[in-house]
């Protein structure tokens, strides 16, 4: 039978049997099309409107949707660590032929992917100055293995442009937070690799791309740890989330030693913090010294993981006591607000003093909150169901005569005459799409 044809049928009893007939119409098509069209619109709305959608042209292996986010890295300058401005605010140019000044972010997953190293995001940046060159070590999440590796890039124009050098460190487990520092004429890296249950120190044998394991300095799965030399001792700050009763992203421990290789002794008041995750206990970058004062950067993970960084001035640091107070960071807020590349969150900052007397900083940022891919999926499904369930419920009730149909596709008089002509009596008519 052709599409759209109407057939009449009724319940006719006779000969010990019965035959049931229905009138097929477009009512079912109405509800089915409403279900599909409106549900699809709701899903697309949640996917493309609620979450920023930025199309890019890059390696098909890079910059995939990732539940951890879409982190990228920006550069900031200032006369002090408390007056940092984004690179676009200081009129920095790549070269004389450039059409516009450099703007953040200066390093993205596309930068790394297009250089041949597929990456979903870049985060946890640490600077290392060597002569006129700046080296940037960072976590890059491999789009194939889905684990973090340590990438490295180089700049010879004070951070305006970056050349991707490759992967500096790749292990069989996740790596991040590549804290790089000097000691006795050697360059060391202490990345986070807490999956192994310990804290490892690597030494550069062919800087910046070749490193060797120097020593496992602690049998604790510390995350986001750093080492500083202060008042004749080496101090190690880090978070151990493996203990019973530990509040994730709200714990901090301090250890001290006469050498970065240990042995390490625990601070008398460990854990220094075991508090709410919004308090900045977890480290958020390299500590720095300004006017003789030591400052620690912490992460505020209250609203979402890595929501913002907070700055603390360390007032007392001894093996028996520790005290710090929060101070304003003074970082210029993004002019685009939540639509900026770091508008949703930023959780890592490295500030360093250049030989020129100026300060430079690198910060990571994200335009979406943690778990955004899952959030979009749930919103899409919820939006679809919000449209589908009422439509189906109403159609089901109308089919059983509990509520009227939304409109009458077949004129009542025509239907009545057709029933009389076919001898259908007053039996109920059903509407279905043929």
**pLDDT per residue as tens digits for the range 328-349:** 998 887 778 888 999 999 999 9
Burial-class residue 417 by CB neighbours within 10 Å (0-12, 13-18, 19+).
exposed
User: What is the mean pLDDT of the segment spanning 109-138?
Assistant: 96
Residue 33 has pLDDT above 80, yes or no: no
Return the higher-pLDDT residue of 55 and 234: 234
Give a yes or no: residue 333 inside a domain. yes
CATH code at position 281: 2.115.10.20
Give a yes or no: residue 300 inside a domain. yes
Tell me the CA distances in angstroms from 353 to 27, 84, 129, 216, 289, one per residue in order: 73, 12, 10, 30, 9
Out of 5-9, 83-87, 257-261, pick the least confident: 5-9
Nearest in space to 153 (alpha carbons), one of 115, 100, 191, 118: 115
Quote the percentage of the chain above a pLDDT of 90: 63
Q: How far apart are CA 389 and CA 196, in angstroms?
A: 48
User: What is the mean pLDDT of the segment spanning 180-184?
Assistant: 98
Give a yes or no: residue 196 inside a domain. yes
Give a yes or no: residue 430 inside a domain. no
For residue 253, give its domain range: 72-367
Please give the structure tokens belonging to residue 180.
């790089």
| Angle formed at CA 406 by CA 401 and CA 411, multiple of 5 degrees | 90
Give a yes or no: residue 313 inside a domain. yes
Whether 118 and 94 have beta carbons less than 8 Å apart is answered as no
pLDDT at site 421: 55
Let me know how long the chain is.
Answer: 434
Give a yes or no: residue 7 inside a domain. no
Residue 113 has pLDDT above 90, yes or no: yes
Question: Which range scores top for mean pLDDT: 4-13, 283-292, 297-306?
Answer: 283-292
Residue 69 Rama label (left phi>0; alpha psi -120 to 50; beta)? left
pTM for this prediction: 0.77
Instruction: Domain count for the chain, please give it.
Output: 1
Give a yes or no: residue 33 inside a domain. no
If pLDDT is split at 50, 70 and 90, which confidence band does 401 have? low
Which residues lie across from 296 on neighbouring strands?
A: 312
Q: Is 397 helix (H, G, I), strand (E, B) or coil?
A: helix
Q: How far apart are CA 77 and CA 90, in angstroms?
A: 8
pLDDT tens, 367-389?
988 655 556 567 667 766 777 67
Return the higher-pLDDT residue of 405 and 159: 159
The per-residue b/e assignment along 303-321, b for 16 or more CB within 10 angstroms, e otherwise, is: ebbbbbbbbbebeebeeee
Q: How far apart are CA 391 and CA 40, in angstroms?
A: 14
- Work out whether strand 273-274 and strand 288-290 pair parallel, antiparallel, or are unpaired: unpaired
Give a yes or no: residue 428 inside a domain. no
Residue 19 has pLDDT above 50, yes or no: no
pLDDT tens, 58-112?
446 789 988 899 999 999 999 999 999 999 998 877 766 666 789 999 999 999 9
Residue 16 has pLDDT above 80, yes or no: no
Residue 17 has pLDDT above 90, yes or no: no
């Amino acid at each position: 039978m052709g599409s759209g044809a109407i057939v009449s049928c009724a319940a006719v009893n006779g000969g010990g049997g019965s035959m049931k007939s229905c009138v097929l119409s477009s009512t079912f098509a109405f509800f089915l099309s409403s279900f599909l069209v409106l549900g699809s619109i709701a899903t697309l709305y949640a996917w493309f409107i609620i979450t920023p959608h930025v199309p890019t042209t890059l390696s098909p292996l890079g910059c995939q949707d990732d539940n951890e986010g879409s982190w990228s890295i920006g550069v900031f300058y200032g006369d002090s660590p408390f007056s940092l401005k984004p690179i676009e605010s200081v009129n920095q140019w790549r070269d004389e032929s450039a059409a516009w000044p450099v703007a953040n972010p200066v390093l993205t997953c596309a930068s790394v992917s297009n250089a041949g190293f597929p990456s979903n995001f870049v985060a946890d940046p640490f600077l290392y100055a060597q002569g006129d060159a700046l080296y940037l070590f960072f976590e890059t999440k491999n789009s194939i293995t889905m684990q973090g590796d340590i990438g490295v890039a180089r700049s010879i124009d004070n951070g305006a442009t970056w050349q991707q050098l490759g992967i500096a460190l790749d292990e069989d487990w996740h790596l991040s937070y590549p804290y790089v520092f000097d000691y006795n004429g050697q360059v060391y890296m202490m990345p986070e690799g807490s999956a192994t249950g310990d804290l490892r120190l690597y030494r550069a044998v062919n800087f910046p791309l070749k490193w060797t394991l120097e020593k496992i300095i602690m049998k604790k799965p510390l995350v986001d740890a750093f080492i500083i030399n202060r008042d004749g001792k080496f101090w190690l700050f880090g978070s151990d989330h493996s203990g019973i009763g530990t509040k994730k992203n709200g714990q901090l421990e301090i250890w001290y030693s006469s050498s970065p290789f240990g042995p390490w002794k625990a601070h008398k008041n460990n854990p220094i913090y075991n508090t709410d995750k919004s308090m900045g206990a977890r480290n958020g970058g390299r500590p720095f010294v300004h006017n003789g004062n030591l400052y620690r950067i912490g992460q505020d993970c209250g609203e979402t993981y890595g929501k913002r960084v907070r700055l603390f001035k360390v007032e007392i640091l001894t093996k028996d006591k520790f005290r710090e107070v929060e101070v304003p960071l003074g970082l210029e807020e993004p002019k685009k607000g939540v639509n900026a590349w770091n508008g949703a969150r930023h959780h890592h900052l490295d500030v360093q003093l250049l030989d020129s007397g100026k300060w430079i900083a690198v910060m990571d940022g994200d335009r979406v909150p943690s778990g955004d891919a899952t959030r979009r999926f749930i919103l899409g499904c919820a939006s679809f169901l919000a449209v589908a369930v009422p439509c189906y419920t109403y159609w089901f009730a109308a089919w059983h005569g509990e509520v009227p149909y939304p409109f009458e596709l077949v004129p009542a008089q025509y239907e009545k005459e057709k029933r009389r002509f076919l001898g259908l009596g007053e039996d109920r008519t059903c509407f279905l799409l043929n």
